[in-house]
Amino acid sequence: MQPDNVTKRKANSYTSLQKSFRTNRFAYMLIVPTLLFMLLVHFLPMAQGIVMSMLKLNQFTLAQYLRAPFIGFDNYKSLLFDESNPIRQGMGFAVRNTVIYTIVVTFLVLAWGLLVAMLMNRPFPGRGIARTAMLLPWVVPSYVVGVLWGFMWQRDGIINYILVDLLHLMGEKPFWLIGHNTIWAIIIPTIWRGWPFLMVVFLAALQTIPEDIYEAARIDGAHKLRQFVHITLPLLKPVIAVQLLFQFINNVYSYNIVSTMFGNGAGYPGEWGDLLMTALTRQSFGYWAFGSGSAASFLLMVVMLVFVGIWYRTFRSELNSQ
Amino acid sequence: MRNKKWTVFSTVMASTLLLAGCGSNSGNGGDGQAAATTSASPSASASGQASPSAQTDPVTLSAWIMPNSPKPDADFLKVMDPYLKEHPNVTLKVTVLDWGSAWTKITTAATSGEGPDILQLGTTWVPAIASMGGIDKITDKMGDVGGEASYLPASWNTTKIEGKEDIYGVPWFVDARAIYYNKEAFKAANVDPAEAFKTWDSFKSALEKVNGVTLDGKKVAALGVPGKNDWNVVHNIFPWIWAAGGDVLSADHKSVTFNDDKGVDGVMYYTGLANEGLVDKSSLEKNSSQIESDFGDGKSAVIITGPWLAKNFATPSKAGGMDDKAAAKQFAISPLPAGPSGQSTFIGGSDLTVFKGSKNKDAAWEVIKYLSTVEAQQAYADISGQLPANKNLIESPDLDANMKAFAEATKYGKSYPSIPQWGPTETALQKHFANIWDIVAGVKGKYDRDSIQKEMNDAASEVNSIIKQ
């Protein structure tokens, strides 16, 4: 390519940008407040977090805050290679639990939400009331979910009463809030609260699929399962893709339910109940290791960005077709 | 945007729900917002000394307190009422922080300099906030509030940083632990309470006898113990370590000693009670409030908790109390039994401090001075159910029987080392003691001295690296 062409192209793109700005001036002006707001509440704190991750910020230097001693990448080094780093204590359990939690919750919430949406998509008497009633769990704030389920999971609570006393599914009443069962005690309430939102989203998406497509398929002799695999799923793919991402991010960053279920953040949720966020919060605020904590948060953000990148590559075609 | 709204909504819900915090006091928690409006009184801030005009110039003071009583802000203002009537120029703004978020808010205030004038701090927080430079030294003013002689040694220790002379806080009220027992259950088991709580041996044999008696047709567990899902995990275990002759740190505060033989003896005795079936294992999942409520319902014959429960049992259920519970009229209080090295209990509570960034320090000190008077100490103790910090009051013969038992317990009270790193230390202890409860509950390996010793050693090595920071 000739250098001339390059400059010309640059100039062109510049003038076209100018032109676009002129024609859409009003639209840009409308965006400005949002941009400023984002800058203020989103990007500045993020930048501050990155700065903090390079400071020796503990309880003795906290008063200096951003003027605390600058130590470059020492926090990252210690986080990755020093086993006695406070943030690392018990982090292995938290990572394992978060992986299990995220995969199980994301998959089940999507599947259950879609299933119920399909049931709700057909006309039946009382459909409106049923839909509203099903939204209830989602309306309950996650803090309340943690407290309520915390009561229900107790050894002499209602869940064991149903499982053991009524249904006789188990011989002895198990512990749910201590020991390895804890992981179920946090997964199930999360699913319980999470699926209604997915149902609403999928229901809305299902209603955009024209009925004639199904009709044509029926005439061609396609049974329900084939209709689902070849019509519903492909047409819902962009919605599923977006929801998959949201669920994934939400679940990795999950905090409230675990925090309220185990002593309002004061307790230690245990080796099967601790999640990344509860561990990170406890270790950075409890141990006053704010520098290392910021570094860990930044590392987590990078890992998440990689996942978002993989997600985008996987679903690029579906997203662009929209 | 929908998510944003939810965040706001759930935050509001949270501030109303998460008040349980450090005690059992639930109730109206104020707005949970940092109300940092302080209108400066120019003459007071300029001179630094109480000039005559500072006595009359209008001044607005802001106080941050925790949910110490059923209606934290109203109760506090009620106690302050006589002072405010006498000083019409003083306006007092009270903000109630919940224990869960208080630490974050206070450290934020300390770093930004924007905060209250008067600040309540949990006793173990004083050295940390002091070393952060968040609160004023008040060493030379302590004469105003009686000085060392007016307070329990265990509370006095919490007003300074270990090994240093400067004073940063005035003890406001005292939290101590004692035994609550159900008199009817002891009667049914034919156990004499006067003998039962003397020593570890008599305590255990009393529990064995009480275990399983029936009250109102229901079987009673001997002891109610919250396990790890609780905010008192560390406070519940240390009295036993102390009574066994162990301690948190060595005398010079340079090394950890709680995992020595004596420390493990204490933990083994206490957790052994649960391991030997004297505790309904279901209680190991519960928190302190739930254990207190179970005791109220007559599900357990003995629990160990703070003075607020007596107040709770005397408060009508309409006002958020538990006077309708069966045990409300059947309970009595006793100090903890003596271990191999004598009696012991946990002493905590709160201190009042002057915030470094305050522009009305003299006026703030006057309020703290008032809150330290015998009248205000008595009034706040009455309204909150907490023990007063003033030693004369604790030792006063006019105390009601329940508070007398607590006053007796405070004689053997110990507080944690007053080191700036106590916060992280407690977090580490909380985690490892939680694992010990998992072992006791039978969900994490075999319960024996070796497994407990190992967990204590892990805790010790973590705490060692924290205090060497």
Domain boundaries, chain B: 36-176+347-414, 178-345+418-467
Poorest-confidence range of A31-45, A61-75, B55-69? A61-75
Mind telling me how many Å the CA of A238 is from chain B's nearest CA?
20
What is the C-alpha to C-alpha distance for residues B122 and B348, in angstroms, rounded to an integer?
Answer: 8
Decide which of A116 and A284 is more confident: A116
Residues of A in contact with B110 (CB under 8 A): 62-63
3-class DSSP assignment, residue B69: coil
Say how many Å lie between the first and final Cα of chain B, rounded. 43
> Mapping DSSP to helix (H, G, I), strand (E, B) and coil, where does residue B333 land?
strand
Pairing status of strand B345-354 against strand B170-176: antiparallel
Q: What is the mean pLDDT of residues A290-306?
A: 93
Phi then psi for B58, rounded to 5 degrees? -65, 135
pLDDT in tens, A75-116: 999 889 888 787 888 889 999 999 999 999 999 999 999 999
pLDDT attached to residue A5: 57
> Which residues 6+ apart lie within 8 Å of B37 measured at CB?
B60, B62, B93
Radius of gyration of chain A (CA): 25
Q: Contacts of residue B66 in chain A, CB cutoff 8 Å?
A: none
What per-residue confidence (pLDDT) applies to B200?
97
Which of A255-269, B155-169, B424-438 is least confident?
Answer: A255-269
More confidently predicted of B442 and B64: B64
Assess whether pLDDT exceeds 80 at residue B358: yes
Residue A303 predicted with pLDDT over 60: yes
For every residue of B163-205, DSSP letters joined together read T---B--EEEEEEE-EEEEEHHHHHHTT--HHHHTSBHHHHHH
Average pLDDT for A55-71? 82
Among 3.40.50.2020, 3.40.190.10, 3.40.50.360, 3.30.10.20, name the CATH number for the domain at B178-345+418-467: 3.40.190.10
What pLDDT score does A7 carry?
57
Q: Is the pLDDT of residue B24 over 80?
A: no
CA–CA gap between residue A179 and residue A173 (Å, rounded): 13
CA-nearest of B304, B350, B393 to B155 is B350
Answer whether A34 touches B (CB < 8 Å): no
Angle at A37 between CA A70 and CA B1, to 5 degrees: 115
Q: Which of A141, A270, A289 lies nearest to residue B9, judging by beta carbons? A: A141
Answer yes or no: do A62 and B427 touch at CB < 8 A. Answer: no
Which own/partner pairs from A92-100 qualify as long-range (CB within 8 Å, at least 24 positions apart)? A93/A271, A93/A272, A93/A274, A93/A279, A94/A274, A94/A275, A94/A276, A94/A278, A94/A279, A94/A280, A95/A276, A97/A183, A97/A272, A97/A273, A97/A274, A97/A275, A98/A251, A98/A252, A98/A254, A98/A275, A98/A276, A100/A183, A100/A187
Q: Which of residues 84-123 of A touch B (CB under 8 A)?
A: 84, 86, 89-90
Q: What is the DSSP letter of B339?
A: B
pLDDT at A275 over 70: yes
Taking CB atoms and an 8 Å limit, are B427 and A286 in contact across chains? yes
User: Which of A63, A143, A263 is nearest residue B14 as measured by Cβ atoms?
Assistant: A143
User: What share of chain B in percent tops pLDDT 70?
Assistant: 88
* pLDDT score of A4: 56
The C-alpha atoms of residue B76 and residue B63 are separated, in whole angstroms, by 10
**Which of A59, A179, A260 lies nearest to residue B441, judging by beta carbons?**
A179
- B201 CA to chain A: closest CA distance, Å? 30
Task: Output the pLDDT for position A266.
Answer: 65
pLDDT in tens, A37-57: 999 998 999 999 999 999 988
Q: Which of B262, B159, B276 is nearest to B223 (CA)?
A: B276
Angle among Cα A63, A66, A71 to the nearest 5 degrees reads: 105
More confident residue, A73 or B230: A73
| DSSP state, residue B25 | -
pLDDT at B29 over 80: no
Give phi and psi for B163, each to the nearest 5. Answer: 85, -5
Q: Matching CATH topology for B36-176+347-414 and B178-345+418-467? A: yes
Rounded Cα distance, B275 and B281, in Å: 9
Q: What is the pLDDT of residues B322-345, one digit of tens each?
A: 999 999 999 999 999 999 999 999
The CATH topology of domain B36-176+347-414 is D-Maltodextrin-Binding Protein; domain 2 (3.40.190)
8 Å CB contact of B423 and A142: no
- Mean pLDDT over B133-157 rounds to 91
pLDDT of the residue at B1: 37
Query: In this predicted complex, what is the ipTM?
Result: 0.73
Comparing B32 with A108, the larger pLDDT belongs to: A108
User: What integer pLDDT is reported at residue B442 of this predicted model?
Assistant: 87
Instruction: Give me the mean pLDDT over the B4-16 stretch.
Output: 39
Look at residue B405 in the predicted model and tell me its pLDDT. Answer: 87
Order of strands across the sheet with B221-224?
A: B221-224, B300-305, B178-182, B331-334
Measured CA distances, B292 to A17, B24, B181, B287, B333 (Å): 69, 9, 11, 9, 14
Residue to mutate among A175, A281, A282, with most B CBs inside 10 A, is A175
The answer on pLDDT for B27 being more than 70 is no
pLDDT for B431 beyond 60 = yes
Q: Do A156 and B282 touch (CB under 8 A)?
A: yes
User: pLDDT band at residue B167, thresholds of 50, 70 and 90?
Assistant: very high
**Rounded to two decimals, what is the model's pTM?**
0.80
Instruction: Give residue B159's pLDDT band: very low, low, confident or very high (50, 70, 90).
Output: very high
**C-alpha dihedral sign at B273, B278, B284, B290:** negative
Between A185 and A7, whose confidence is greater?
A: A185
Q: What is the pLDDT of residue A170?
A: 87
Residue B393 scores a pLDDT above 80:
yes
